[in-house]
Amino acid sequence: MSEKTKIYEEKMEKTLKNLETELQGIRAGRANPHVLDRLTVDYYGTPTSIQQVANVTVPEARMIQISPWEPKMVKEITKAIQKSDIGINPSDDGRVIRLVFPELTEERRKELSKEVRKMGEEAKVACRNIRRDGNEVFKKLKKQEDLSEDEIADIEDELQKITDKFGKKIDGVIEAKTKELMTV
């Protein structure tokens, strides 16, 4: 890998990591504590993640249990979950909050699979845009640094190979998530 393509490979790596993070938030019928990652609660006037004010566990396959360290946080956490887009109504006994994930219907699984594929396609488009930006920079370099047509072609070819590699990685991530969603 040349120095000229390294920055573009790093950008594509960030695109892939971002996709993986977004996919963690999509629930697949099983309880996954990552669905709470984007939620914050008001902790003494500061927006704080739920994991920093409570112990989050998965005692059963389809249940998340949240045990706040301070009893007054139960109401705050419950409110944050109700306002979120998780789509699950929390229940609490005054000390512990439970989120029970219902079994996903076949229709909902297919909907989520479409959403996952769309997110994958958006990530691929982002990688192709990174490639395009790189190619434009390389064409300008040709004029500035007096590089030959062959050198530019080699750099563009290398960038295309990197783009293809990330396209395959994105396909793999999407395929794994779709399989997870469709598994009953």
Cα dihedral 48/54/74/32 (nearest 10): 90
DSSP H or E stretch at residue 40: strand 40-43
Boundary residue ending a domain (100, 123, 157): 100
Summarised one tens digit per residue, pLDDT across range 44-53 is: 888 888 888 8
Q: Look at the chain and report how many structural domains it folds into.
A: 2
Helix axis angle for 3-24 and 106-145, nearest 10°, is: 160
Residue 183 pLDDT greater than 90, yes or no: no
Between β-strands 91-92 and 40-43, what pairing exists: parallel, antiparallel or unpaired?
unpaired
Structural domain of 59: 33-100
Are 74 and 111 in a shared domain?
no
Quote the Cα angle for 1-19-37, to 5°: 130
Domain boundary, last residue among 70, 100, 130: 100
Q: What is the pLDDT of residue 29?
A: 65
Residue 77 sits in the same domain as residue 131: no
Quick check: pTM over 0.85?
no
Give the CATH number for residue 86. Answer: 3.30.1360.40
**Which of 165, 131, 144, 169 lies closest to 19, judged by CA?**
169
Check whether residue 41 and residue 13 sit in a common domain: no
61-94: per-residue pLDDT in tens?
A: 788 898 999 888 888 888 888 888 777 788 888 8
* 151 and 127 fall within a common domain: yes
- Neighbouring C-beta atoms of residue 27, cutoff 10 Å: 20
Are 96 and 114 members of one domain? no
- Using one digit for the tens of pLDDT, what is the confidence trace for 113-131? 898 999 999 999 999 999 9
**114 and 53 in one domain?**
no
Considering the domain architecture, whether residues 66 and 115 belong to the same structural domain is answered as no
